[in-house]
Amino acid sequence: MEFDIAKTLQNVSGQVMSEMGEVGNTFAGELGKAFADKEQSLTELSTAYLQGELNEDELKQELEREQKVIEAQLITLEIAAKAAIQKAVNGVMNGLTATLKSAL
């Protein structure tokens, strides 16, 4: 059986993003990039498993390691989102303060 990791990742991540709705659309590009960055190592793991070089426990352990790496890559999204929220809130509060001062 032929296995195409790129197509599999694209299909699975697309399905997950679809299920997440608008929230998924927000970071779909970054998630896709993170998986693209790991495509070679995921391909190697998949091939090793399919050829019997890794058993299921070893595969699971390696995939958990890869998952942690991908999650670490995506933490930058959380930081960027927090910074954007802070900037937006600060802008609103500064605008409110300026409006109140000018109303005096």
Is 66 a member of any domain?
A: yes
pTM for the model stands at 0.66
What pLDDT is attached to residue 24?
A: 66
Q: Give the total number of structural domains in the chain.
A: 1
Residue by residue, pLDDT tens for the chain (104 residues) are 577 877 877 777 777 777 777 766 667 777 778 888 888 999 999 999 999 999 999 999 999 999 999 888 888 878 877 887 888 888 888 888 888 888 88
Q: 24: Cβ–Cβ under 8 A, 6 or more apart, which residues?
A: 16, 17, 18
Would you say residue 96 lies in a domain? no
- Name the phi and psi angles at 3, rounded to 5: -125, 125
Q: What integer pLDDT is reported at residue 23 of this predicted model?
A: 65
For residue 55, being part of any structural domain is answered with yes
How crowded is residue 45: how many other Cβ atoms within 10 Å of its Cβ? Answer: 20
Would 82 be classed as within a structural domain? no
